[in-house]
Amino acid sequence: MNIIRTVRSVAFSSIPNRTLSTTRSLSTPSAQYTAFEVNDKTGIATLTLNRPPVNSLNLELLTEMRNCLKDAETNKCKGLIITSSSNSVFTAGLDLLEMYQPQDERVKSFWTALQSMWMELYGSKIPTAAAINGHAPAGGCLIATACEYRVMLPNFTIGLNETLIGIVAPKWFVSAFLNVVPRRVAEQAITQGKLFTTAEAHNVGLVDDVVNTKEEAIAKCEQFIGSFKNVNPYARALTKQQFRIKELQELEQQREKDLQIFLGLIMQPSVQKAMGIYLEGLKKKSKKQ
Ligand X SMILES: CCCCCCC/C=C/C(=O)SCCNC(=O)CCNC(=O)[C@H](O)C(C)(C)COP(=O)(O)OP(=O)(O)OC[C@H]1O[C@@H](n2cnc3c(N)ncnc32)[C@H](O)[C@@H]1OP(=O)(O)O
User: From the centroid of its chain, how far is CA 284?
Assistant: 26
DSSP 244-279: HHHHHHHHHHTHHHHHHHHHHHHTSHHHHHHHHHHH
Tell whether residue 137 is a contact of ligand X (CB under 6 A): yes
Residue 113: phi, psi to the nearest 5?
-65, -35
Cβ atoms of 80 and 126 within 8 Å: the answer is yes
Tell whether residue 71 is a contact of ligand X (CB under 6 A): no
Tell whether residue 282 is a contact of ligand X (CB under 6 A): yes
3-state per-residue secondary structure call for 180-217: CCCHHHHHHHHHHCCCEEHHHHHHHCCCCEECCCHHHH
Catalytic option among 79, 123, 134, 139: 139
CB atoms within 10 A of CB 232: 10
Catalytic option among 17, 55, 58, 161: 161
Q: Interface with ligand X by CB under 6 A: which range of 102-110, 145-153, 158-166, 213-221?
A: 158-166
> Residue 157 Cβ, how far from ligand X at the closest point, in Å?
7
Decide: helix, strand or coil at residue 103.
coil
Tell whether residue 122 is a contact of ligand X (CB under 6 A): no
> Residue 67 Cβ, how far from ligand X at the closest point, in Å?
21
Tell whether residue 281 is a contact of ligand X (CB under 6 A): no
Tell whether residue 53 is a contact of ligand X (CB under 6 A): yes
Does 161 qualify as catalytic in the annotation? Answer: yes
Active-site residue list = 94, 139, 161-162
- Give the binding site for ligand X (CB under 6 A): 53-54, 56, 88-89, 92-97, 135, 137-139, 161-162, 165, 167-168, 170, 261-262, 265-266, 282-283, 285-286, 289
